[in-house]
Amino acid sequence: MKFTDKLAAAERTNDSLLCVGLDPEPSKFPGAWQHDPSRIFDFCATIVDATKDPVLAYKPQVAYFAAQRAEDQLERLMAHIRKAAPGVPVILDAKRGDIGSTAEQYALEAFERYQADAVTLSPFMGFDSVEPWLKYEDKGLFLLCRTSNPGGSDLQAQRLVTGDLLYEHIARLAQGPWNRTGQLGTVVGATFPAEIERVRELAPTLPLLIPGVGAQGGDALATVRAGWRSRDGRTSGPVVVNSSRAILYASRGNEFAAAARAAAEATRASLAAGRSAAG
């Protein structure tokens, strides 16, 4: 199944736009697991088991695993998600960006070692840094476009000789000539709803991966109203709205899984209100 088809099916089945980011920090784990990196799989798998119904996708961040020498636990987690939530796509947040044979190796890592459904990429080395990933024709590729951090403006808001801002140019490329497989999307931060709306205007059908809701302060209602679009009662411009810390660490107690589920359900409801408003 192509990534975009799996994403659409998950949105319908779970009635959700919520992506849960899996960013494990052992210092924030509950009880006896605190400060124990060997419990990364146990913590993340418990979160998955508790939230698999209210979510559209999961997004494990590679750095949180690699920093703890826990890549083997990430492999186990990816396999666990495929078994526990087979209809929920997994976006590997790796932000890779390189060319030639190095990009090919990164693609092997994401799609063959970890069996991800999609990956985040930095497009700033140009099309030949994206092209090796397109060999995986069914996989999703989310290009960094307008990121949620304030420093993103240092480059992404620079005006080109064409008159476009750089992030607008990336959106045009993703919607047009670079999208040879039909599986490209863009990353646009929830902290910039006006930019979300502009990217949606330039890329009306692409999936938007939108981080920044929750701990980073993005507004769920404004985010979905700016980015989600429908046609004939079905999603035509999908959004994948990520929340990590606000769900993972909703509680530090033994009831952390139930608290994570409650936070996920509350966020899903907020996003659904935005979807209704976007209509």
Q: Identify the active-site residue in 6, 59, 95, 135.
A: 95
**CA–CA gap between residue 125 and residue 132 (Å, rounded):** 13
Is residue 218 a contact partner of residue 148, using CB atoms and an 8 Å limit?
yes
Residue 7 DSSP SS3: helix
Tokens of 264: 């996920």
95 is catalytic: yes
Tokens of 137: 């024709």
Is residue 234 a contact partner of residue 44, using CB atoms and an 8 Å limit?
no
b/e per residue 51-74 (b: at least 16 CB within 10 A): bbebbbbbbbbbebbeebebeebb
Cα→Cα distances 74→39, 40, 60, 164, Å: 11, 8, 8, 39
Is residue 41 a contact partner of residue 77, using CB atoms and an 8 Å limit?
yes
Neighbours of 78 (CB within 10 A): 19
Ramachandran bin of 91, using left for φ above 0, alpha for ψ from -120 to 50, beta for the remaining angles: beta
DSSP classification of residue 272: H
Q: Which residues on neighbouring strands pair with residue 241, listed in sequence order?
A: 18, 210
- In Å, the largest CA–CA distance within the chain is 57
- Strand ordering across the sheet containing 239-243: 57-60, 18-22, 239-243, 208-210, 184-188, 140-146, 118-121, 91-96
User: Which residues are designated catalytic?
Assistant: 95
